[in-house]
Amino acid sequence: MKVLVIGSGGREHAVAQSIVKSKNCSKVFILPGNAGTATIGENILGDVNDFKLIKNIVLSNQISVVFVGPEDPIVNGIYDFFKQDKLLKDVLIIAPGKTAAKLEGSKDFAKIFMSKNKIPTAKYSTFAKENIEQAYTFLDGMNPPYVLKADGLAAGKGVLIIDNIDEAKKELDNMLLKNKFGKASNRVVIEEFLDGIELSCFVLTNGKDYKILPLAKDYKKIGEGDTGLNTGGMGAISPVPFADKEFKMKIEDKIIKPTIKGIQNEGMQYTGFIFIGLIKVKGEPYVIEYNVRMGDPETEVVFPRIKSDILALFLALETETFPLLQIDIDPRVASTVMLVSGGYPLAYEKNAPIIGLDDVSESLVFHAGSKNLNNKTVTNGGRVLAITSYGSTINNATKNCYEEISKIFFEGMYYRKDIGFDL
């Protein structure tokens, strides 16, 4: 069976790596992929939002399963494109329909969904530039810090947490009036600040039945001690030690079950992953946001812990056997540390040669922003590599990561040395 993985990051490398291990898999294609995915499958140049190209690739290569990694093609309706095409409708596509994708594509839509289904989340209100004065008044009635969220997709960077009321109003102006995040901030969700510790929950579902994957915690800030600018993620840990059995039951009962029921009640088409961004506040789980795909860099610690045949799980989604399946999880801790280009998440250089990859023997290396150039592997993005290690404890797993990272070098390379510091 041939599989197409859509995307170019560490998430897609990790997923493709799991798929090629399946006895059901004969070949993996990756669009567009990176230097890492080129070692385990065939990269195909192209745009992840070029649905006509994707159709041609699927048909010409007799591909049976398509996994969609990034949010853009999902929100743009790739699932609906497949199901409305008579030549593609029988291809298994791991992605939700366009309506369900609004759970990530619009924070206001997600908030309304949560409210309707009594899913615990922060109090909020949504504003456009036409009612900015009302937004000022709403901010005046809140206690700091102030949380501003661009309604649409902003590559994980559209959330601002601000302590000062004047600065909050200034940033609101930047978002609504000056298009700080482009179309994504045409509308802004202002919500109360929840004080707690964050974690990520992942659910594989067919829209009716579901399987809960290992929990993870990622680190979004560029600086150690969670300081500085937001990034796409600087590292992750799985499992999460503060999520005990009782807390996990609360997540399932108060959040996962009503989410799945809401998807059913709304008649949403859903075959794939729900990523629920959570925060633990005084022992209770609250939803920060939904994503309608796997997270990155969390995938780089979650998928290596799944011992079950991942492609078999995908294939079971459309059968009656899915609710009966058990997922075998590696009990060890997995830690991943992102190596990023100097200057990231702002301006950074590309095409720096990456040295030492062949010396890494005790960790998994997932390529994120890399490419092959003149027979060399070079940098091709802000986040370049994810180094994932196992361990009996968080400290042991992260220590293993840093030992392996010491063997790798590229000009300007930066990474956080405190992943897991707060656990």
**How do the domains of the chain map onto residue ranges?**
2-96, 123-191
Q: State how far the Cα of 121 lies from the Cα of 108, in Å rounded to an integer.
A: 12
Instruction: Report DSSP letters for 101-118, one per residue.
Output: HHHHH-HHHHHHHHHHTT
**pLDDT tens figures, 308-353:** 999 999 999 999 999 999 999 999 999 999 999 999 999 999 999 9
Q: Once rounded to an integer, what is the mean pLDDT over residues 124-136?
A: 88
**pLDDT tens figures, 68-102:** 999 999 999 999 999 999 999 999 999 999 999 99
Q: Is the pLDDT of residue 154 over 80?
A: no
Name the pLDDT band for 378 (thresholds 50, 70, 90): very high
Structure tokens at 36: 């890492």
Q: State how far the Cα of 101 lies from the Cα of 109, in Å rounded to an integer.
A: 10
pLDDT of residue 326: 92
pLDDT of residue 187: 86
Q: Which CATH class is domain 123-191?
A: alpha beta
Beta partners for residue 272, in sequence order: 205
Among the four given CATH numbers 1.20.20.10, 3.40.50.2020, 3.40.50.10490, 3.40.50.20, the one describing domain 2-96: 3.40.50.20
**Mean pLDDT lowest among 34-38, 172-176, 341-345, 384-388:** 172-176
Q: State how far the Cα of 123 lies from the Cα of 194, in Å rounded to an integer.
A: 9
Q: State how far the Cα of 327 lies from the Cα of 310, in Å rounded to an integer.
A: 9
159-162: strand order across its sheet: 124-128, 187-191, 146-150, 159-162
Instruction: Report DSSP letters for 327-367, one per residue.
Output: --B--SEEEEEEEE-TTTTSS----PBPB-GGG--SSEEEE
Amino acid in the structure at residue 315: L
**pLDDT tens figures, 262-304:** 999 999 999 999 999 999 999 999 999 999 999 999 999 999 9
Return the exposure string of 9-24: e unless at least 16 CB atoms fall within 10 Å of the residue's CB, then b.
Answer: bbbbbbbbbbbbebee
Q: State how far the Cα of 67 lies from the Cα of 69, in Å rounded to an integer.
A: 6
Q: Once rounded to an integer, what is the mean pLDDT over residues 379-384?
A: 97
Q: Kind and range of the H or E element at 33?
A: none
Q: What is the mean pLDDT of the chain?
A: 95
The sign of the dihedral angle between the CA atoms of 409, 414, 415, 418 is positive
Structure tokens at 382: 């802000």
Are 149 and 183 within 8 A, CB to CB?
Answer: no
